[in-house]
Amino acid sequence: MNRLRLGTLRMMFDSMSETRKRKMKVRFSSISLRALAAVLPVLFVVILASAVFAQEEVPPPYGGLKNPFSWDDVSAQEAGRKIYQQSCVGCHGLKGDSLPQSNFSGADFRRNLEEKADYYFWVLSEGRLNKGMPPYKASLSDEKRWQLLTFLRSLSGAPAQAEKSPVPPPVSAEGGQLSLGVPARAAAGQDLALTAVLEDADGRPVSATMVKFFAKVSFFGNSLMEIGEAETDAQGKAVLTYTPRFSGDVQIVARYGGLETAAPLALEDASRPFYRVEVGIDLPAPGPEVLVGTRTALDLGEQNFAPATALRLPGGVLSWLLIVAATLALIWFTYSRVAYQMFRIPRASDIRDTNTRLVPTVAMLFVLAMGVLLLLMLLTGPHSHLHALP
């Protein structure tokens, strides 16, 4: 089950379009945000209301609809399972029990679903936006929505599925014990060591075995986010060095096979930025690498959220701020040169009462003033300052 849940998160990420992934990689670099990003495109919340809403009248065109698939249609269930993993699992959880108000695993859900399929189909299609459940009629066809409901029925009251781990746990760990040690003090941005000890039923250490570590993150529902894995040594100890990028109280979970253990970890806020936004290409440059932007662009936001994106540029004269500034200066210099040509148009000797050079003079002054103003606007803006990167 655990592997499955993790795999789902992965799959969701893999199934995203390339563009979206790229976008995400740029925008979010902290792990918590990446998990958020993985859940985002997939959908938020499927809150199928149970008893309370079941009394509601189902409006047309949904009223009286019947599931075209047999509830026990395995291929429909399988198709539904895929959709569920892509679109629902983020909020409802693998077993459908993450949200108490719409618990798909309860026995009464199966009965309700069979009796009022049209009601559930309606909620799935139109959503319950006030509860966080988006409508799916635009993104899923009728057939797919019914397949999804067919799958949901199989969740409820079904006999607990056996753990389907591709690597069967070695006999020695069965009935054993997994313990997890976390440091007493830790802060976001600082390396910390998570230690899990795996022992078999007789208290002997289990070596050369991969233990996975998770953090419980909260996004609509709670879900586990993998933060890494480590191999146990001869003492059965698996140590993961980990740099949290978020702060607050989190639950760290270590897992091996059917064994699971959790420990609370309080993470303090970071006192300084400890990672930089990966934006731009690390170009080779003669000078030091600079950041174009305010110093505050390096500060972390609330809850250590990534700072606003800032361009990372090669230092010195290669900076494209300077290229833009040079182009601008060239344009306005040309204008003032043209204005000067106007100014140099020789005076007519017979016009004495009017200063014929007034217009060219004004033009020249205006062009120069505008040029300087635009240049200053470009160069003195708070985001145009160059800072060496930490």
State the minimum distance, in angstroms, from the CB of residue 290 to other proteins.
14
Residue 123 exposed, middle or buried by CB count within 10 Å (0-12, 13-18, 19+) = buried
By CB under 8 A, is residue 318 in contact with other proteins? no
351 binds other proteins (CB under 8 A): yes
Which element (helix H / strand E) includes 226?
A: strand 221-231
Instruction: Please give the structure tokens belonging to residue 100.
Output: 């108490």
Q: Does 337 bind other proteins (CB under 8 A)?
A: yes
Q: How far is the CB of 314 from other proteins (least distance, A)?
A: 15
386 binds other proteins (CB under 8 A): no
- DSSP letter string over 347-361? PPTT--SS-TTHHHH
Which residues in 22-81 contact other proteins (CB under 8 A)?
A: 23, 40-41, 43-44
Work out whether 162 is an interface residue with other proteins (CB under 8 A). Answer: no
Nearer to other proteins, 263 or 311 (CB): 311
Whether 88 and 98 have beta carbons less than 8 Å apart is answered as no
Please, what is the angle between helix 31-39 and helix 18-27, to 10°? Answer: 150
Give the range of 109-117, 217-225, 231-239, 351-359 binding other proteins by CB under 8 A: 351-359
What are the C-alpha distances in Å from 116 to residues 75, 151, 230? 22, 15, 48
8 Å CB contact between 192 and 141: no
**CA-based nearest residue to 213, from 178, 187, 246:** 178
Least distance from C-beta 377 to other proteins, angstroms?
5
Q: Which of 80, 96, 134, 176 binds other proteins (CB under 8 A)?
A: 134
Check binding of 136 to other proteins (CB under 8 A). Answer: yes
Compute the half-sphere exposure of residue 320: CA atoms within 13 Å on the CB side of its CA: 5
In the complex, least distance from residue 79 CB atom to other proteins, rounded to whole angstroms: 18
Which pair of tokens denotes residue 290? 């600079």
Q: Which stretch binds other proteins (CB under 8 A): 110-118, 224-232, 259-267, 376-384?
A: 376-384
Q: How far is the CB of 187 from other proteins (least distance, A)?
A: 31
> Amino acid identity, residue 214?
F
Query: How many residues in the shown chain lie near other proteins by CB under 8 A?
Result: 54
Closer by beta carbon to other proteins, 81 or else 312: 312
Cis (ω within 30 of 0) for the bond into 61?
Answer: yes
Per CB under 8 A, 384 contacts other proteins: yes
Q: How far is the CB of 124 from other proteins (least distance, A)?
A: 12
* Cβ nearer to other proteins, comparing 130 with 354: 354
Instruction: Name the one range near other proteins by CB under 8 A: 56-64, 251-259, 268-276, 327-335.
Output: 327-335
Give yes or no for residue 292 binding other proteins (CB under 8 A). Answer: yes
Residue 43 CB, shortest distance to other proteins, in Å, is 5
d(CA 307, CA 312): 13
- Reference 211, options 185, 234, 236, 231; nearest CA is 231
Distance in Å, CB of 18 to other proteins, minimum: 8
Q: Tell me phi and psi for residue 269, to 5 degrees.
A: -65, 150
Tell me whether strands 248-256 and 259-268 are parallel, antiparallel or unpaired: antiparallel
What residues are paired with 365 via a beta bridge? none
Separation of alpha carbons 253 and 279, rounded Å: 32
Q: What are the residues whose beta carbons fall under 8 Å from the beta carbon of 18, sequence distance 6 or more?
A: none
Residues 224 to 283 in contact with other proteins, rule: CB under 8 A: none
Question: Which CB, 43 or 270, lies closer to other proteins?
Answer: 43
Q: Compute the least distance from the CB of residue 158 to other proteins, in Å.
A: 27
99 within 8 A of 92, measured Cβ to Cβ: yes
108, 341, 388, 389: which one contacts other proteins (CB under 8 A)? 341
Report how far Cα 103 is from the mean position of its chain's Cα atoms. 26
Find the binder of other proteins among 10, 14, 383, 388 (CB under 8 A). 383
The residues that touch other proteins, with contacts defined as CB under 8 A, are 17, 19, 23, 40-41, 43-44, 87, 134-136, 138-139, 292-293, 310-311, 321, 324, 328, 331-332, 334-335, 337-339, 341-342, 344-348, 350-351, 354-360, 363, 367, 370, 373-374, 377-378, 381-384
